[in-house]
Homo-oligomer: A and B are copies of this chain.
Amino acid sequence: MMHERERWQLILTRLRDRGIVRVADLVGVTGASVATLRRDLAKLEDSGQLRRVHGGAESVASGQTPLTAPSFDASQTLNADLKQAVAQGAANLCQDGDSIILNAGSTTWFMAQYLRQHRMQVLTNSFPIAQELISHSMNRVVLPGGELYREAGIILSPFDEDAIQHFAASKMFMSCYSITPLGIIESDPLVARAEAKLLTRTENLIVVADSSKFEARGNMVVCPLTRVSTLVTDTGAPPHMLDHLRQLGVEVILIDPKEAKVLTAA
């Protein structure tokens, strides 16, 4: 028989792939009874991970624009579970009234999903994140000026004068391309510059990265590791890197992707 968590994971995966699931289908896939699956859906709806409809459930992101969907479906297939767990752990660090920064990235985008109940001021250079927050949360949203790049939905500007110079954040959550001993790495120079610019608006840098980010890739250093206050990652991260980070004074928060998924939502 299938375990409760397995079913949940399966339901959410299916939901992400197809946008909609039917109870009848799930019976065939999971082998569980209709009643059990209804309970599952009820719980998942309570924690905001889907919306129930007659006959099954639909993705909370369903009916979203073609912009966010394609640009994130690709990255979603890659370690989506880990990213969600890390994102949820990071979201737990937020409190109502905070002023935070979210840079553009798939992990931060997942994080935005967990901020629906919050009331904060959020500065982000990600168009999809702004969209998500403005339409599904009570947070106030601030955007930097600049050109909106289609593929990634990032707002970038070559200029320094900007309204964000008036923004002061208590925390910044940053996802990245990779983490190496040399620092936080991006692959695109413009993106690296944009993130460096955001970094000037806060003292407290929280890096969110699933364990796959510790493979060395990319070439643009956004900032050294000593700039990082906190790292949120999952238990699959290489221990020697975590030790190194702790020695540099970085607080490391480990999320167990198996447990953290839904439980902390309550």
Contacts and interface: CB of A to CB of B under 8 A. Distances in A.
Interface of A: 3-6, 9, 12, 19-20, 22, 53-56, 58, 62-67, 127, 130-131, 134-136, 140-148, 150, 153, 155, 157, 159, 161-166
Interface centre among A5, A19, A20, A134 (most CB of B within 10 A): A5
A54 B4 CA distance: 8
30 contacts: A3-B20, A3-B22, A3-B56, A4-B53, A5-B53, A5-B55, A5-B56, A5-B62, A63-B66, A66-B135, A66-B136, A67-B131, A67-B134, A127-B134, A134-B148, A134-B150, A134-B153, A140-B148, A141-B147, A141-B148, A142-B145, A142-B146, A143-B143, A143-B146, A143-B148, A143-B155, A144-B163, A145-B145, A145-B164, A146-B163
Nearest to A121: B147
Contacts of A142: 145-148
Contacts of A131: 65, 67, 127, 131
Given A67-B131, A143-B148, 9 more contacts: A12-B63, A66-B135, A67-B134, A67-B135, A134-B148, A140-B148, A143-B146, A145-B146, A162-B163
B63 A9 contact: yes
A196 B157 CA distance: 22
